[in-house]
Structure 1
Amino acid sequence: MTDTARFDAKIAVVTGGAAGIGLAVTARIVAEAGRVAIWDRDQSQIDAAKARFGAKILGIAVDVADWDAVEQAASRTAASFGGIDILVASAGITGPNATTWTYPVADWHRVIAVNLNGVFHCNRAVVPFMMQRKDGRIVNIASIAGKEGNPNAPAYSASKAAVIGLTKSLGKELARTGITVNCVTPAAVRTAIFEQMTQEHIDFMLSKIPMGRFGTIDEIAALICWLASEECSFTTGGVFDISGGRATY
């Protein structure tokens, strides 16, 4: 069940918004009367989203690891829609599964570039637009791996731990501005990102979840959209677990 007008007149940016969790968030915000700028690398998926949602969305092909591209996307979004109220930083990659001492250096740098630098770029780019309105919601997507550290996923685990730290830092910086900054730490959710993992790693992740199943994208999107709404007004710098019981702290 959704509140059909919860995001009325709100402008959201959803990175990675053309697939997986990002697409589910986009669909929910649009269904609840908001407009969404999808920032995604895959133009074909952006085109599919535009065909599905029409004028309610703006699709921008952007690599979040590229600061200049992110800055331009933020300016284009604000000019097209009249501002930015919400950021959901969902774009991310897993990288290969390997031990730290055999992990390919190039892959390490790419995972950090997308998962950490990309989140920083997007947070940095949207805050000035939110400060103009003295209001805003930022939701960064981290991972339970950032709290516990998954073996054979050192770059992913490190990048998501850093996103948690960034969220806490920015949340404190903006605490008196009307802008809240929180992050979500899901356990594994079966999306296309599983294609980047070995079956052994997928089985390991499932074995750690007491509920004995993976989360669904709709379950994750429901929490994200609450954090992105005006209902979430007295929480900032928070870390919200949605892990089927896996989280221990």
Structure 2
Amino acid sequence: MSETDLATYERMVNTNMRGVFLCNREAVRLMKPKQSGHVVTLVSMAGQRTNPGAPIYCASKFGARGLSSGLADQVLKLGIKVTEVNPGPVDSNYWGDRAVAREKFLKVDDVARTIAFVLNQPDYMVIREINFDNMKFLAA
């Protein structure tokens, strides 16, 4: 963290917190008149456990969790559900050319199936958050 410039910090926070705020705010504005809807906030397990190699990223994800949880408390009485989805590392373009053990990561389809599961629950049921990881990653 001591080597990170302010522009990098602001880009990370703007992407992971401001982005969640703006998207969720607009989604709720559309759902309020109907008194129904479901906001799914894709966060990360990095918002649940810290990583010494990415403290700013983790902090921004912890913040995104706070935004999602606070929103859930605000809009539940309006009939709007909010679910925070927290996958572990996902084999995606995010990693670029970095040397990472992608075979231990979740697949994008795993995340999509999990979101579909959340959205296909009965109307009376809300899953506030769901956390998941690849067993190979956790066992490493």
Same fold (TM over 0.5): yes
Structure 1 match to 2:130? 240
- Whether 2:44 is the aligned partner of 1:154: answer no
Cα separation, 1, equivalents of 2:49 and 2:104: 18
Deviations 1:167-207 (A, max 9, x none): 11111111111110111111111111111x742xx35xx7x
Cα separation, 1, equivalents of 2:19 and 2:93: 19
Structure 2 match to 1:226? 117
SS of the aligned residue for 1:175 comes to helix
The CA deviation at 1:217 is 0.8
Contact 1:226 1:232 in 2 (8 A): no
Structure 1 match to 2:74? 173
SS of the aligned residue for 2:89 comes to coil
Deviations 1:123-181 (A, max 9, x none): 11121210111110111111111111112212211111111111111111111111101
Contact 1:183 1:240 in 2 (8 A): yes
Q: Using CA pairs below 8 Å that are at least 6 residues apart, which structure has the higher relative contact order?
A: 2
- How many residues get paired? 136
Q: Which amino acid aligns with 2:20?
A: V
Structure 2 match to 1:191? 92
SS of the aligned residue for 1:150 comes to coil
Structure 2 match to 1:145? 46
Percent identity of equivalent pairs: 27
Q: Which amino acid aligns with 1:192?
A: N
Unaligned runs of 5+ in 1: 1-99, 207-211
Structure 2 match to 1:104? 5
Cα separation, 1, equivalents of 2:14 and 2:3: 19
Against the structure 1 CA distance between its residues 109 and 232, is the aligned structure 2 distance closer, same or farther, given a 3 Å change threshold?
farther
Contact 1:138 1:228 in 2 (8 A): no
Cα separation, 2, equivalents of 1:239 and 1:150: 21
Q: Larger Rg: 1 or 2?
A: 1
The CA deviation at 1:231 is 3.1
The answer to which structure has the higher helix fraction is 2
Cα separation, 1, equivalents of 2:111 and 2:40: 12
Cα separation, 1, equivalents of 2:3 and 2:24: 32
Unaligned runs of 5+ in 2: none
